[in-house]
Chain A
Amino acid sequence: MVYLDASATNPLLPEVRDAMLEVMDLSVKGELGNPSSLHSTGSRGRDLLAAARESVAELIGASSEEILFTSGGSESNNTVLHTFTGCPLFVSAIEHPSVLEPAKLYGSPCWEIPVDRQGIINLSALETQLRRTLKHSPQERLLVSVMTANNETGSLQPLAALSALLQTLRADFPKAQLFFHTDATQAIGKIPVNVQKLGVDYLTFSSHKLGGPVGIGALYVRQGSPFKPLILGGAQEGKRRAGTSNAVLATGFATAAKIAKTTPAKYQKIAELRDYLASEIKKRIKTATLVCGDRKQLVLPNILNVSFPGAEGESTQLYLDLAGIEVSTGSACASGDIRPSHVLMAMFGDAEVAHNSVRFSLNLKTKKQDIDYLLKTLPPIIERLQKLSTINLKESV
């Protein structure tokens, strides 16, 4: 089996399993209490949680009291946007739905930042809109939420420039309260991510993308930033997120986080494989369009999104699956929705590009022979679907 869907989830790391089993064994022996309990076994849970929080904080250059454990990236994103209920929200058009949907619900109003055909946000459009808003109400509290890297295309966003823009605006509008959130779920572990360097106030990430367990994620909240809990009814996580703390998942997440500190350097090799895949696809399938073009330096090292005119993505995905290759698609048909990928629609405004898109996402286990097998398998599938299709390729993109 060739797994090229690493952006969906990554296999659990054996070190993570071992660490979690140790904690589970404590629980089996009755030596792991509720971390909120004062007694000795509760205290053991508390210690495990504190150690885990320390490791997770260290991965992004935060201090441990700035880290909140959540159920995952979606909850972290929802929590930040919920905090800014009734405020103007500026979110990129290509955010994960767990940013976009709450932003539309809580924002007053919610502005979508457009992106170009490489999937990069239009900073000057954002600046114009921010200045217009602040000129009108200079004491406004507002939030800008732009992901570090996109999950479908891997496009890296200009966070340094965005941070600089917000600094300028803070100087120009001293009474305004401008906050900055980034969803780094896809980027962490692939490229170095440091909250001090990025200048963000909130940062979302998740455990399972790093080879940790599913069901736990983190939210970084810079000290002093506004916060409103989403889940009420308990004093856990410094009264910021109710619900019994999970020492098993936190320990697994922390183990994955320690390993993730060393992985960005290793992804250089994966970027070479990805670039090889991109250039070979262009050679072997003339009609293929590389969704992010050739601007490799502006894309995560492990993602390649390609659109094959006339070959609908779900059909390609199913054919590949039968050949033992697992990928994903931006086609509406595969999403249970009637709309195709909002990310590719924001980039191209063309539903066909989205319907025909296939995302290949690699991880550290991907080998050259996997890519060669894909390169051998893919062209006849695309050719067959194109021949079966009503689309006249000469008229396609």
Chain B
Amino acid sequence: MKQSTAKSCQKSPLEQSWAYTDIVKDHFLNPRNFLMGDETKFPADGEGLVGNPYCGDQMLVKIQVSTRKNPETGKREEYIKDIGWKTYGCASAIASTSALSELAKGRSLSAAGDISAEEICAFLGGLPKHKFHCSVLGHEALKNAIADYQNHKNLKNQP
């Protein structure tokens, strides 16, 4: 199901350009890890916001960070223990943030920061071309959340 190339994002430019894959529809209708209504119930270590209502899309991503031993390297690392989000926007915006949350959950911070729009798009089995460019923004919100977490940590560690 998971496709690795960005090519899967390119649907035919004519009649098919509206079509959403079943995976997109599923994430739109049954979004994963989202903050429904009261977001204060999700105490976050970092949060990031991207987009704006004027453009028609806005995402808020909140993360909880913990540490664990990396099974391969044996070194301790920080990872995303839990993630919550909100999105104002179209089906593609909602589905892509949901997909991002699935991709990010459990990843080390450095690996989570590498999640790209192409990876989200591939996870969803492709998106209409015009959607890919305007609505896949969740990974940027996640990057902001990670930076926010690191800022807080640096402030705390200052003497």
Q: Do A and B come from one complex?
A: yes
- Chain A positions near chain B (C-beta within 8 angstroms): 310, 312-315, 318, 322, 331-334, 336-338, 340, 351-352, 355, 387-391
- Chain B positions near chain A (C-beta within 8 angstroms): 17-18, 28-29, 31, 34, 36-37, 49, 53-60, 86-94, 130-131, 134-135
**A-B interface, 3 closest residue pairs, ranked by CB to CB distance from nearest:** A333-B90, A389-B88, A314-B90
Does A390 contact B60, Cβ atoms closer than 8 Å?
yes
Interface Cβ pair total, 8 Å cutoff: 73
Does A318 contact B91, Cβ atoms closer than 8 Å?
yes
- For B90, give its contact among A310, A315, A338 (CB under 8 Å): A315
Does A388 contact B53, Cβ atoms closer than 8 Å?
no
Q: Which residue of A lies closest to B130 (CB)?
A: A336
B92 contacts across to A, CB distance below 8 A:
333
Does A390 contact B86, Cβ atoms closer than 8 Å?
yes
B28 contacts across to A, CB distance below 8 A:
315, 318
B53 contacts across to A, CB distance below 8 A:
351-352, 355, 390-391
- For B89, give its contact among A333, A336, A337, A338 (CB under 8 Å): A333
A310 contacts across to B, CB distance below 8 A:
88
Show 25 residue pairs from A and B whose CB-CB distance is below 8 angstroms, ordered by the A residue: A312-B56, A312-B88, A313-B90, A314-B90, A315-B89, A315-B91, A318-B28, A333-B56, A333-B57, A333-B90, A333-B92, A333-B93, A333-B131, A334-B90, A337-B130, A338-B130, A338-B134, A351-B55, A352-B53, A355-B56, A387-B37, A389-B88, A390-B49, A390-B86, A390-B87
Given contact pairs A331-B56, A333-B135, A389 touches B29 in the complex (Cβ within 8 A) = no
- Given A332-B134, A351-B55; 14 other pairs, CB 8 A cutoff: A332-B55, A333-B89, A333-B90, A333-B92, A333-B93, A333-B131, A336-B18, A336-B130, A352-B53, A387-B36, A388-B31, A388-B88, A389-B88, A390-B53
CA distance A312 to B17 in the complex (A): 20
Q: Which residue of B lies closest to A311 (CB)?
A: B88
